[in-house]
Structure 1
């Protein structure tokens, strides 16, 4: 991993997308002073469930896989994060160990805001607690949305929603069919007919470790299917 030593970082693209982009300018300036860029190769863990909290992380490029140890410590994939995603605030502000594991799904560039800097900021300027509360709200909303989709929507609707989300601002999702099946919590045998149908309709194209969206409007037609 590579950490710059200069005092002021360039935050791009995180100053223009996701949670950080919506924060006050003085907060962004603080992040540029205390943040450190880190690079992770595919399959490398950022942290694991049970680790002590060490700050928050923002994904600038690449992709992150989030897993939760459910039964006997066996990890269950619960989310695939794309650039603009931030995580880590819950454990830090609750003084509890990490509850999830965070791994780079592909080569990724991540901004780390360390715990000591966070603690100093809110001690000196308590108003900035609101920024971290907003991050908690964003991640809680994401979790509730995923649960609701699992309970209420068809597999096809969930596939369409996930592909639309993963390809926001681009046309390809860098994941395999097995990866997508794990994200949705279904067997590959259940997922395959759905992908074949969407391919036949011209909505998507299956490639090597990629799924290309050709017709997002068609995916959007199915995204609320129950």
Structure 2
């Protein structure tokens, strides 16, 4: 079990991945770093999810960086534990494959969005991703859900500028398709 403070790096892009990781609490940010220092957020990992499988299982260097988006608890499954889980725990391999396929599908959607979707579609996909994390509260009586986020976080997740996100959020608010509140947004559930 590793305890990480906000901003602490767990995996460094280009370095070996020593284990398969599971998030016990908090939130992790998976992101690409470009040569010129730009950051592209791939995903915000909520508790209960695994990450680091592709580089750990393949033995290849990590293609992304992982850092704690807030204080987090991470469980590391090293080679011996991974082998035991894969060989001795019925259903673990199928469950892991399902998780990997879900994440792969989500990553492909974000890649498609960054190259082939409009800015408003990319913002919608980023909001959908955040709605699946612990940052989203349960729907209220009117069917709206509060998402704790900032426009800077949305911009990074959607690969948009903060100015573009601000303009889109204001448009959606004027159309009554979301509500802006301090510390987040209210969006229709589902």
Q: TM-score, normalised by structure 1?
A: 0.67
Aligned positions, number: 180
Distance 1:164 1:127 in 2: 29
What is aligned with 1:27?
Answer: none
SS in 1 for 2:184: strand
What is aligned with 2:114?
Answer: 150
Q: 2:80 aligns with which of 101, 113, 116?
A: 116
What is aligned with 2:141?
Answer: none
Greater Rg by CA: 1
Q: TM-score, normalised by structure 2?
A: 0.77
- Taking a change above 3 Å as real, the CA distance of residues 206 and 62 of structure 1, as seen in their structure-2 partners, is farther
Distance 2:45 2:93 in 1: 24
Runs of 4 or more, structure 1, over 6 Å off, are: none
Q: Is the 8 A contact 1:67 1:101 kept in 2?
A: yes
Q: 1:86 aligns with which of 37, 50, 58?
A: 50
Q: Does 2:131 align with 1:167?
A: yes
Q: Is the 8 A contact 2:21 2:76 kept in 1?
A: yes
SS in 1 for 2:34: strand
Q: Does 2:34 align with 1:70?
A: yes
- State the shift of 1:46 in Å: 1.9
- Taking a change above 3 Å as real, the CA distance of residues 173 and 39 of structure 1, as seen in their structure-2 partners, is farther
What is aligned with 2:151?
Answer: 177
Q: Is the 8 A contact 2:86 2:93 kept in 1?
A: yes
SS in 2 for 1:71: coil
Distance 2:32 2:3 in 1: 23
- State the shift of 1:114 in Å: 2.5
The gaps in structure 1 that reach 5 residues or longer are: 1-35, 218-226
User: Cα RMSD between the aligned structures?
Assistant: 2.7
- State the shift of 1:91 in Å: 1.2
Q: Does 2:168 align with 1:189?
A: no
The gaps in structure 2 that reach 5 residues or longer are: 138-144
Q: Is the 8 A contact 2:147 2:187 kept in 1?
A: no
- Taking a change above 3 Å as real, the CA distance of residues 109 and 121 of structure 1, as seen in their structure-2 partners, is closer
Within a 5 Å distance, the mapping from 1:1-226 to structure 2 comes to 36=1, 38-72=2-36, 74-122=38-86, 128-168=92-132, 170=137, 171-208=145-182, 210-216=183-189
